[in-house]
Chain A
Amino acid sequence: MIIEIWAAFMVLFGVLTLIVYNVRNYLQPIGFEYKQVWNLDLASNQDTTEIGSKLEMALQRIKSYKEVESASRMSNNTPFSASTMGNSVTYKKVSVGADFYNTDTELSKTLDLPLIKGRWYKEGDMVAKFIPIVINKQMEDKLFLEESALGKVIKWDDKKSFKVVGVVDKFKAKGEFMSDKPALFQMIDKDDKWNSNVLIKTRPGTDANFEARLAKDLAVMLPGWGIEVTYLTESRKNRENLTLVPVLIFLIVSGFLLTNVALGLFGVLNLNIARRKGEIGLRRAMGATEGKVTGQFLGEIWVLATFAMLIGLIFAVQFPLMNVFDLDSKIYITAILATIAVIYIIVTLCAWFPSRQASLIHPAVALHEE
């Protein structure tokens, strides 16, 4: 029984850590607006000539539609996509890994990404000595600790250095369940041929007719190119499912295990009570009330559960102590406390009925049956 409760504790701790982690992330805003935004993925396929200028031409054409409020070019790690681009940057020997996003000067407007410090980069910044970047608050806190990031030059590698011109609050590109990771926006120039995604913020009321017209116009303008439009609202939903499915699977597995523990507990307690009828009768004869008999059996199972969980705790506390998976220790502590509460609730529910049954056995009957 102790091993069973211990195993349930460990599995539940894992599941609850995952849930607490995701819920904490979910409660934090993603930091940008996606509802009216489409992602246009342009693939040049066999075309290898003047890609940069063709992309720029397409962008200008997109911006010219009255249905379009704003449009920005972006690397293929667009919001809610499966791709990521990560690198580490260094400032005064502090190194931080960050998600890199290559974008143009319009992204802040296209995604309603407000700045809390400084400004978004502009065309003129391209002639400066350092590459202009905008970072998020998380990156500022990790890299510059107490200092302000504005104007600071940070190293990417031996050749490239960035200069921070602005700070945004949050940018959780993979959706609500993503943690608030350090993010860095790097400016791309107009001739860039590698970053071929365009985020389009449409005006309210824009429908699929415009999507068809846009695709048709672009197909004429860029013959042989692949053109794919996805709505960020749909991408977000897909992304959400990718996070929720494993959580659901873990929940089912742990639910199955907990049900087994509950049934086992219930069976063992019933057997235990059947074996101890004489003792129950004796205790009632000696002055135990029904409540005290119930309390005794509940107390015994709580002692067992506490012992099993103490063993589990030896393992569980290693996670926050050793900073496993680089998670905030508060996540593990919350998960531990929630696991303890759930295990106590389960054992109490399972023990309650047999314990109550035990207390209701008539003392004369119980004494006679031994």
Chain B
Amino acid sequence: MIKLQNVEKVYRTSSIETLALNNINLNVKKGEFVSIMGPSGCGKSTLLNIIGLLDAPSKGQIEIDGSPVERFTDKHLAELRNRKLGFIFQSFHLINDLSVIDNVEIPLLYRNSSGRERRELAQEALEKVGLSNRMKHFPKQLSGGQKQRVAIARAIVGKPEIILADEPTGNLDSAMGNEILSILQKLNEDGTTIVMVTHDEAMAKKTHRLVRLFDGTQVQ
């Protein structure tokens, strides 16, 4: 489903070159739940951004569903992100001026869906995360756990095959964190491939496979 070969990422400024990722090889199979762990600054988020096509590697190859993405245009990459990938972020990234349901509808705005279709799919996604009673609320009226559930609903509304979660429980207490993880596990049981960056060893143990990074290098 996701294949990374000899991926390297270097950040260059006029005076410094920083090697963020070094020779990463990763193969995530369809339906897998993989967690990426490592200390702060080891390149976990960079790796997730590269998998999510939000950033380009300096070297190496990425394949999503068997297609190498290096030569994809902006339009093609955007379509791939929209159709195949769902993102969950540690800081939720909800738009405060939009209601919960409007936030969830965002990915569908970039498809040719009608307003009615968008609303129905957003309601369905919110029901899945148990927030159908908060549709008209605004993000500022929600708790951290509820915000992350809205972010999950937004990630799954377009029915993507892959979900990329960047420390989804990082800003939540353990009870909330477990709740979010169980939602992710349920999605995985339903067939969604999940790649999750986490700091939490216990959370990582609940996934199928663990990838460890240290100073940009894959150590496990």
Contact = CB atoms under 8 A, between A and B. Distances in A.
Given A286-B107, A287-B78, A289-B74, A362 B87 contact: no
Contacts of B81: 284-287
Interface stretch (B88-96, B127-135, B196-204): B88-96
A364 B43 CA distance: 13
Interface string B85-118: 0010101010100000000001101110000000
Nearest to B78: A289
B66 to A, nearest CB: 21
Contacts of A287: 78-79, 81-83, 107, 110-111, 158
B91 A370 contact: yes
A291 B78 CA distance: 11
- Please indicate which of the listed interface residues A281, A289, A291 has the most CB atoms of chain B within 10 Å of its own CB: A289
A293 B82 CA distance: 14
Interface string A331-366: 000000000000000000000000000000011100
Contact of A362 (B52, B55, B91): B55
Nearest to A285: B87
B50 to A, nearest CB: 9
B54 interface: yes
Nearest to A292: B110
B200 to A, nearest CB: 21
B83 A279 contact: no
A19 to B, nearest CB: 41
A289 B75 contact: yes
Nearest to A283: B106
Contacts of A114: none
Given A282-B106, A362-B55, A364-B54, A288 B91 contact: no
Contacts, number: 56
Interface string A262-304: 0000000000000000110111111111111000000000000
B54 A284 contact: yes
A290 B75 CA distance: 8
B74 A290 contact: yes
Do most interface residues of chain B lie in helix, strand or loop, or is the interface mixed?
helix
B185 interface: no
A288 B78 contact: yes
A281 B52 CA distance: 12
A6 B49 CA distance: 44
Contacts of A247: none
Interface string A100-125: 00000000000000000000000000
A278 B96 CA distance: 11
A282 B74 contact: no
Interface string B54-65: 110000000000
Contact of A288 (B52, B83, B110, B158): B110
Contacts of B52: 285
Contacts of B79: 287
A363 B80 CA distance: 14
A291 B110 CA distance: 11
Interface residue tally on B, bucketed by range: 20 to 34
Contacts of B87: 285-286
- Please indicate which of the listed interface residues B54, B82, B111 has the most CB atoms of chain A within 10 Å of its own CB: B54
A291 B74 CA distance: 9
Contacts of A288: 78, 110
Contacts of A284: 54, 78, 81
A367 interface: yes
A282 B49 contact: no
A268 B158 CA distance: 34
Given A287-B83, A287-B110, A364-B54, A282 B93 contact: yes
A14 to B, nearest CB: 36
A128 B46 CA distance: 104
Nearest to A282: B93
Contacts of A286: 81-82, 87, 106-107, 109-110, 154
Given A288-B110, A289-B78, A278 B93 contact: yes
A364 B55 contact: yes
Nearest to A368: B45
A367 B89 contact: yes
Contacts of B78: 284, 287-289, 292
A186 to B, nearest CB: 72
A210 B91 CA distance: 92
Contact of B54 (A279, A290, A367, A370): A367
Contacts of A292: 78, 110
A290 B79 CA distance: 12
A284 B130 CA distance: 27
Nearest to A289: B78
A136 B73 CA distance: 69
Contacts of A281: 54, 93
B116 to A, nearest CB: 20
14 contacts: A284-B78, A285-B52, A286-B87, A286-B106, A286-B107, A286-B110, A286-B154, A287-B81, A287-B82, A288-B110, A289-B74, A290-B74, A368-B45, A370-B93
Interface of B: 45-46, 49, 52, 54-55, 74-75, 78-79, 81-83, 87, 89, 91, 93, 95, 106-107, 109-111, 154, 158
Task: Please provide the 5 A-B residue pairs with the shortest distance between their CB atoms, ordered closest to farther.
Answer: A287-B82, A287-B110, A364-B55, A364-B49, A364-B54
